[in-house]
Chains A and B, each alone.
Chain A
Amino acid sequence: MTDTCDDWGLLIQADLDGELDIATIARLARHIETCPACAGLQRDLLALSSRIRADVPRPTAPLALAASLRPPPSRRGWRPVLGGFATGAALAASLALFMLTPRPDPDADIVAGHIRALQPGHLMDVVSTDSHTVKPWFDGRIDFAPDVRDFATAGFPLIGGRLDYLGGRVVAALVYRHAQHPIDLYVWPATGTAAPVVSSAKGYAVARWTAGGMAYTAISDINPADLQEFARIWAMR
């Protein structure tokens, strides 16, 4: 490739990266029509970009990262931050990430996980309303097989699933929707049986139960009675 074409190479790249103005795009298109080397480079760069975006994983930050935040050696400046705590449910929930609580709070991980899942693009790793698609997706990703069910007819359609990290272990998260509100249902192996109990944590409704060798925790901003119904349907199946 000649030096001239190296300059074109930067333009070809900038075009694929969406950084070129219309006039330059037109000039580039005319050149590529007459230059097989540059046309080939364009194909290669486009294919490389697609492969990177499709194949290279994008891990999410471990919840432990946020949860393990501790004050720096000089504590001044952190206490006042915490002194401003609890001005509204949303704020309180966001700050669950920064709470420097002396004792672990069993709800903090759940709430933090739910909030992080609500960030754009984080809700689901597998998007499907078909339980036969979601269930196999977990195979090989976790060392247990969660029961995946759809309750669309009862007003709680399954919309997808993802992996999450709670209490030091990887758990399955099933995502449902009820009246446009997402519900996260975390599932992991546990022994015993316990009927659903609904509580509230930092403005969110949380339902917990244990059945069939699995512990379930559902969290959502729907009203607690609706979450109770969701848990009841799940637990009585």
Chain B
Amino acid sequence: MNPDASPARTEAFARLVLPHLDAAYRLARWLLRDPDAAQDVVQDALVRAMTYFASFRGDNPRAWLLQIVRNTAWSRPRGPRLEALDDDAGASLIAPGPDPEAALAQTEAHSQLSRMMARLPAELRECLALRELEDMSYRDIAEVTGVPVGTVMSRLFRARKLLLGQAQGNPE
């Protein structure tokens, strides 16, 4: 028998990783803005997580799983893209236009705020969603998104100022 698939390890995976399935799904939804694609990505990510779990040594399984989900989402051909953030970005958050989260809106009555969040550039909305909706620390968000803590801070600040209608287009 493959030692990596021992009952103890399988039990550890179920105990440490599965409680974060909802957070994983929500992050994928924020990144992809599509429940079906989010489900696919989490499924792929779980398979990867199961495979790599033998080498997991950290004390933060949530950040570890979300990092895998995030990388899986970003590596999809139709996944999120880094978007140039210019001076008009604030206007585009509010202006009507193609509705990227139409599929989400079908199942839930989304607030204006949800729609504005969904229109933030992907690297901003993932930081904001992890902070506000998963209550993660800057350090954990940095681990998940693979950037320094200072970048997390500036992304959060840009996201919030965009939502507050105070876009200033500051480059990172």
Residues of A participating in the B interface, judged by any CB pair closer than 8 Å: 6, 9-10, 13-14, 17-19, 44-45, 48-49, 51-53, 55-62, 64-66, 68-69, 72, 76-77, 80-81, 83-85, 87, 91, 94-95, 97-98, 116, 119-120, 122
Contacts and interface: CB of A to CB of B under 8 A. Distances in A.
Nearest to B134: A58
A48 B160 contact: yes
A204 to B, nearest CB: 16
A94 B113 contact: no
Given A52-B117, A97-B18, A17 B131 contact: yes
B119 interface: no
A59 B11 contact: no
A49 B117 CA distance: 12
A203 B164 CA distance: 51
Q: Which of A64, A65, A83 counts the most B-chain CB atoms under 10 A from its CB?
A: A65
Give 8 closest A-B pairs by Cβ, nearest first.
A84-B7, A94-B14, A61-B25, A80-B5, A81-B5, A52-B132, A55-B111, A80-B2
Nearest to B156: A13
17 contacts: A51-B113, A53-B133, A56-B114, A59-B35, A61-B21, A61-B25, A61-B39, A61-B42, A64-B39, A65-B39, A69-B47, A77-B2, A77-B5, A80-B5, A83-B5, A91-B14, A97-B14
A23 to B, nearest CB: 18
A60 B15 CA distance: 18
Given A17-B131, A84-B6, A56 B15 contact: no
Contacts of A83: 1, 5
A201 to B, nearest CB: 17
A146 B55 CA distance: 47
Interface in B15-68: 15, 18-19, 21-22, 24-26, 29, 35, 39, 42-43, 46-47, 50-51
A45 to B, nearest CB: 6
B138 interface: yes
Given A61-B25, A65-B42, 7 more contacts: A52-B133, A56-B111, A57-B114, A59-B29, A84-B1, A84-B6, A95-B10
A64 B39 CA distance: 9
Given A61-B22, A65-B43, A94-B11, A84 B5 contact: yes
Contacts of A19: 137-138
B15 to A, nearest CB: 7
Contacts of B47: 69, 72
Contacts of B163: 48
B164 A84 contact: no
A124 B154 CA distance: 35
Nearest to B25: A61
Contact of A58 (B26, B43, B154): B26
B110 A57 contact: yes
B37 to A, nearest CB: 12
Contact of A65 (B6, B25, B128, B138): B25
A76 B17 CA distance: 21
B93 interface: no
A60 B29 CA distance: 11
B108 interface: yes
Nearest to B29: A59
A44 B164 contact: yes
Contacts of B157: 9-10, 13
A190 B31 CA distance: 38
